[in-house]
Amino acid sequence: MTEKITAKQNTGFSIVWLAVTYVAAATMVIQCRSIWMHLRDYGPWVNRATALILGLCLMALAFRNDGEKGVPGIRWSSVKTGIIVMLYLVLFVLLDPVNYRRALRCGLLLCAFVIFLESRGGGEKAASLLAAFRDVVVIVAGVSVVCWFLLSLLHLIPYPWSGSVYVDWSDDGKIIWRTHFMYIYYETQWFITGYVARNSAIFVEGPMANYIFSLAFMTDVYTQDGRSPKTHRWCRVILALAMLTTFTATGWFLLALMWIMKNLPDVRRKRRSADSFREHLAQEKKMILLAALVLAFVVLLLWNKTTTESSSIRMDDIRSGFKAWLSSPVWGVGFENTPYIARFASPWRLSNLGYSNSPVEVLAEGGLMLFIPYAWAIVRGASGSTRSGSYAHIAFEICFLVLFAVTIVPYQYITMFMVCMLMKDMIRFNGGRP
């Protein structure tokens, strides 16, 4: 009887911890520039709520210890590391107190991630949180693909669907309205104006949706998971469809790059083990084809980024970002101080003032004080991938660097989580080829 009661209690606690993990994953998805974060009336409250809920969930998971009974999961060493990180960020805020509340909020969440990852059983907890993130994104992606097909492509339900909301995310910074369906799907950008919209799901624009979908797709492909191959196939189909329907060059390029990296090891292995000249020649042709595909996609991506209006904006973002950084190279112009950096933009930029990539944003706003820690963490993760010899680890690192370089996500919680995990080499990658 006692054993049965204990088993029920353990099952109950497991369900509670699982729920806490999924809540933490959901808050990271919501905070990555979802529409709800930018609602005119409720956006600031959603922002504070996601930070508070995620922080509490991370601390609760950090305290959890399934190994030694009566011993808290948090290690004193992780607390010391968190204090050092927070003191560094406090120094940064004191030197440049622009938007200091938001800066300190990100700092507190970064400390929570450090304590969570360095807690007892941190590797297993991190793997569970990453898997939960993937599951939440698969649900969001599935709903968005269905809504995009039925509403944005076939237009089965006439406008205005369920209604509209006012948001503060626009090219000129003004309040605009966005059409929604039951608050679970929003139209924010057009692929063919008036006919086909981009699938931006619950996010402010297609690139943000693609960033989340891509991270989940990479997680499913390259990390270890005990789920069945059939489940993985369905997850990848849903996420790939979601990435394609965002109609972003980055998403399409990333899918092609991952496909090429998946097939490259097979071609190389077959070429080395070819018994006849004909087989060897056939594998050589495949290698040339794969190399040509890589070159073609790189050229296509560069052409897309350099022959459209967005290319001019991207190049001007880089120029204005560097000019802003040079005005304060050590500690930058201030956390999320976009209005100040807009002064360095070209005169023809009447709208769409901001950034187009994370590295320039970090360098301009945080100077060397913020850029060096980011660069060190990413370089350390990259060097760890080469040392590990894991093909999946290297491929994941390459894909993440591509996403980070072309998307504005340096202060999003999921980005901070990924950077910390890569730096500490805590992601369990598949062995051999992806």
Give the pLDDT band (50/70/90) at residue 96: confident
Report the distance separating Cα 182 and Cα 143, nearest Å: 11
Closest residue by Cα to residue 249 from 298, 314, 212, 200: 298
Task: Write out pLDDT tens, residues 144-201.
Answer: 999 999 988 888 877 666 778 889 887 666 778 888 888 899 988 888 776 788 999 9
Confidence class of residue 97 from pLDDT cuts 50, 70 and 90?
confident
Specify the pLDDT at position 38.
Answer: 92
Mapping DSSP to helix (H, G, I), strand (E, B) and coil, where does residue 364 land? helix
CA distances from 375 to 188, 380, 382 (A): 32, 8, 10
- More confident position, 265 or 387: 387
Task: Render pLDDT for 217-265 as a digit per residue (tens, 0 to 9).
Answer: 999 999 988 788 889 999 999 999 999 999 988 898 899 888 888 877 6
pTM (2 d.p.): 0.88
Local confidence band at 429 (pLDDT 50, 70, 90 cut-offs) = confident
Residue 5 has pLDDT above 90, yes or no: no
Q: b or e along 308-346 (b: 16 or more beta carbons within 10 Å of the residue's beta carbon)? A: eeeeebbebbbebbeebbeebeebbbbbebbebbeebbe
Q: Looking at the predicted structure, is the pLDDT value of residue 432 above 60?
A: no
Res. 114 pLDDT band, cuts 50 70 90: very high
Tens of pLDDT, residue by residue over 21-54, are 999 999 999 999 999 999 988 889 999 999 999 9
Helix runs in 32-67, H state only: 43-63
Alpha-carbon gap, residue 38 to 46, rounded angstroms: 9
Residue 6 has pLDDT above 50, yes or no: no
State the chain's mean pLDDT as an integer. Answer: 82
Residue 300 has pLDDT above 70, yes or no: no
Provide the pLDDT for residue 28: 97
> Could you read off the pLDDT of 402-415 as tens digits, one per residue?
899 888 899 999 99
